[in-house]
Structure 1
Amino acid sequence: MKKCALILMTLLFFVAQPTNGSAGMKSSSAERSTQDDQIPDTGCRKDFRNFSKSGHSSGTPADRKVRVCSSTKKRLKGSRYSGKPVPSRNMTPLKGCVALVQGEARMQLRGKGDWISLKAGDHIPPRSNLRTGRDGAVEIKYEDGSSLLLRSHTEVTIIEAWKTRTSRLLRDFFLSAGRVTAKVQSVMGRSSRFRIHTPTAIASVRGTEFRVTVDKEHETCVEVLKSRVTVDTATKVINLAQGEGARIKNPARPLPPRKLLLAPNPLGLESLYNTAPVISLASVGGAQAYRVMVAKDEQGKQLVWEREVRRGERVTMSGLDDGSYFLLTQSIDPIGLEGVPSEAFPFTIRENPLPPMLLTSGCERRGGEKAVTLEWLSVADAARYHLQISEDGDFRNPVVDRPDLAAVSFRAEGLENKPYSFRIRSVARDDSPGGWSDPVAIPAPCPPQASSGAWPDFSDGMITLRSRSAGEGFKYHVQIARDDRFQEILVDEKVDGPEISVRKPKESGTYFVRIASVDGSGKTGSFSRPQSFAIQNRFPPEWIGIGSGTGLFLLLLLFTL
């Protein structure tokens, strides 16, 4: 019996002990749970201190990125950076998706090789470089709805982008130049990480909307539009609330936070324009300048026109094609922080059909009266023309008002022998009128005989092209070609005013003219739709001036955008 009892106790002892396999599984499970919450920190605070001592203005953007954020190269604690991402069984690479692209936007895949153009739907893997051009923009979205919008002339590197087993998203970006707007979605429980590194700071958020800018001097501006942002510099942490901003010029001595300015309201904005819109901005206290933006969308992502203007400066939005737009504004304070954006103000531009160009003009006097003959080019998208002649410059009481001219000529008789002005516009097939031409003066003295060459005199064989003025401070780019595609260009000149004189072509045929406005910053708008004029070998007798003996001298008194 004693022997049986001893055997039974021995068996019970071994059964009660846990197996090595089950113990290992429990240990491994606990270890994975712990590791899953241990997120590799890519913070650069230590590097900032070294960076601020050595100075932040030297080296290329890539060199600065390595100096400032060298610790971000370490994917896991204790690992050694080898130039490639360190794989983790608890994290997978996180790809962004191109939600919007405009103009020039390129990517260098994983920081190597050629730059490729981006298109909507492209995937952006970690460690890729992004770059936008002069009029470029690109928006990258992630699976949680967070996004990063790159404005023009912007360079960004995706340093880190991971997804953990518990679905936490970890993203670190380096902004070396330009402007970005980040929208970060909040999540339940432990939130994801979203940080933007710059040469002088790190902006960290867990659910907010904010802007970050790095200027040519590599100084950083952070502006919070919603929620809160933490800005980490070499020596301190700055907590920014909604509606606050900070400028970090020296990481060791950052400027204190300050309130963002309100946006200026546009003054004189109309709902419909048939010429380039001209507005002014209401004054905002503390503003040094303003940013004016025109976008295709209400959110202001797809900008088609953008300017910084001084206080009190009138804004001419030239070079915009016909279509519907939204106007947005922001104030800029003395240290360069930009305020909250305004609401989106809708407006529409419809400049086409353009006013026709005047071909010939004749003036004759009989007794105490005079008659004026006007001829103009046919505009392809015009159904008819509207012509006015007036004694006053504002055309409040025109002596001739013909809105139903189907032909391309008109003779006004019975006018008194005194000064007049005339203007003309095209009317589209849907009865929508285009913009008026600039008024053109008809001189008071009129020769006693019919003479199309007497007003004005083109005996020197020159042609004068006069366009509608785009506004103060604009220059003009004029081209004349033998074909409507402008492959055989005869004249290509830039002039200070909306008028150019060129020698009349010797060969008969049809010639095409187009013009573009150039603003004060040197940016050239789109060329107008071509208009044409004809040079003929033989001329009607009434076009030949008595005693001139030179035939037809073409006068383009009016050519408009």
Structure 2
Amino acid sequence: MMSAAAFIRDEHTMMRTMTTTMTHVMRDAALIAAMTMVALAARAQACEVAALAGDATRVVAGQAQPLRIGDKVGEGAQLRTGDNGRVRLRCPDGSSLVVGDRSQLTLTRLNLGTDAGTGVMPGYAEGARDVSLLLERGLLGQKVTPSGSGKWEVRTPSAVTAVRGTEFLVEVGDNEQTSVHVQSGQVAVLPGPRAAGRTRGLGAQLPVVVDRAGGTDCEVSQGCTSATTWPADRVRAALDRLSGV
């Protein structure tokens, strides 16, 4: 028969074991909850509609809904503007976008790496940005906050642009030709996949590097031209289409 002392000792041992187990369970639960919050926060990143004019909508489940100032626009959103439509988006990392008239833009990926008011998003290295935009038609102006790492790209039917921090515009015409002009910084432009990686005059698979005041034009079948300085009236016409917001 177990003595009273042995019984008490075994009971204390059991209690310590249960306490240790509960501590581990609570710690693991807290860790899982924290990881879940980080994942949700990353997915919840969004840019805000700071200004708009004319006809501007967001497509949700195939239905167009009017945009309003203050709306949050996150990953996967598709924006459309009419003949006189303009939308300015302000993002948590300080970058801004202006969607011009007669445009269609999809925010394919929107990991900005930061959160407004709190600095770096939990779980992300500082400046670790992963943004991919799809401009199917129209005009898009961008002022991208400099980032030491990560990427910011714009894809069109005939080109892919990549930047770290700069101010530039991308236009897709009715024939799917892409035009890129840089106001500040530097942009690398690659032909789209249907152009078989061709860059006119530069050989296969070479990006066109466009510096301040320069531009390039890319066609689906012919690739991209070498960077050249755009005439002032062409630049002014494009910027006028982005004004008013």
* Cα displacement string for residues 272-295 of structure 1 (whole angstroms, at most 9, x for unaligned residues): xxxxxxxxxxxxxxx7x9739879
- Contact 2:157/2:220 (CA < 8 Å) preserved in 1? no
Instruction: Provide the residue aligned with 1:486 in structure 2.
Output: none
Instruction: Provide the residue aligned with 2:72 in structure 1.
Output: 123
- Contact 1:205/1:229 (CA < 8 Å) preserved in 2? yes
Instruction: Provide the residue aligned with 2:179 in structure 1.
Output: 221
Q: 2:100 matched to 1:151? A: yes
Superposition TM-score, scaled by structure 1 size:
0.31
* Cα displacement string for residues 165-210 of structure 1 (whole angstroms, at most 9, x for unaligned residues): 22423211000000110100114xx334211100011111111000
Instruction: Provide the residue aligned with 1:183 in structure 2.
Output: 143
Give the superposed CA RMSD.
Answer: 2.7
Instruction: Choose the corresponding residue for 2:125, options 157, 166, 181.
Output: 166
Q: Offset at 1:215?
A: 0.3
Aligned length: 185
Instruction: Name the aligned partner's letter for residue 232 of structure 1.
Output: L
5+ residue gaps, structure 2: 1-37, 114-123, 192-196, 198-204
Q: 2:158 matched to 1:200? A: yes
Distance 1:136 1:242, change over 3 A: same
4+ long deviations beyond 4 Å? 88-91, 292-295
The DSSP-based 3-state class of the residue aligned with 1:121 is: coil
Q: Which protein is richer in helix relative to its size?
A: 2
The structure showing larger relative contact order (alpha-carbon pairs under 8 Å, at least 6 residues apart) is 2
The DSSP-based 3-state class of the residue aligned with 1:134 is: coil
Instruction: Provide the residue aligned with 1:447 in structure 2.
Output: none
Distance 1:161 1:291, change over 3 A: closer
Q: How does 1:15-414 map to 2 (within 5 A)?
A: 89=39, 92-93=42-43, 94-109=45-60, 112-164=61-113, 165-167=124-126, 168-187=128-147, 190-233=148-191, 234=197, 235-250=205-220, 252-263=222-233, 291=237, 301-302=243-244
Instruction: Quote the sequence identity (%).
Output: 23
- Contact 1:100/1:138 (CA < 8 Å) preserved in 2? yes
- Contact 1:91/1:162 (CA < 8 Å) preserved in 2? no
| Distance of 1:262 and 1:211 partners within structure 2 | 15
| Distance of 1:251 and 1:150 partners within structure 2 | 26
Distance 1:163 1:292, change over 3 A: closer
- Contact 2:170/2:181 (CA < 8 Å) preserved in 1? yes
| Distance of 2:152 and 2:221 partners within structure 1 | 21
| Distance of 1:294 and 1:151 partners within structure 2 | 9
Superposition TM-score, scaled by structure 2 size:
0.68
* Cα displacement string for residues 293-330 of structure 1 (whole angstroms, at most 9, x for unaligned residues): 879xxxx6317xxxxxxxxxxxxxxxxxxxxxxxxxxx
Q: Offset at 1:91?
A: 7.9
* Cα displacement string for residues 127-155 of structure 1 (whole angstroms, at most 9, x for unaligned residues): 11100011110011111110110111000
Instruction: Provide the residue aligned with 1:393 in structure 2.
Output: none
The DSSP-based 3-state class of the residue aligned with 2:224 is: coil
| Distance of 2:86 and 2:238 partners within structure 1 | 17
| Distance of 1:157 and 1:130 partners within structure 2 | 6
| Distance of 2:141 and 2:243 partners within structure 1 | 10
| Distance of 1:100 and 1:121 partners within structure 2 | 8
Instruction: Name the aligned partner's letter for residue 230 of structure 1.
Output: A
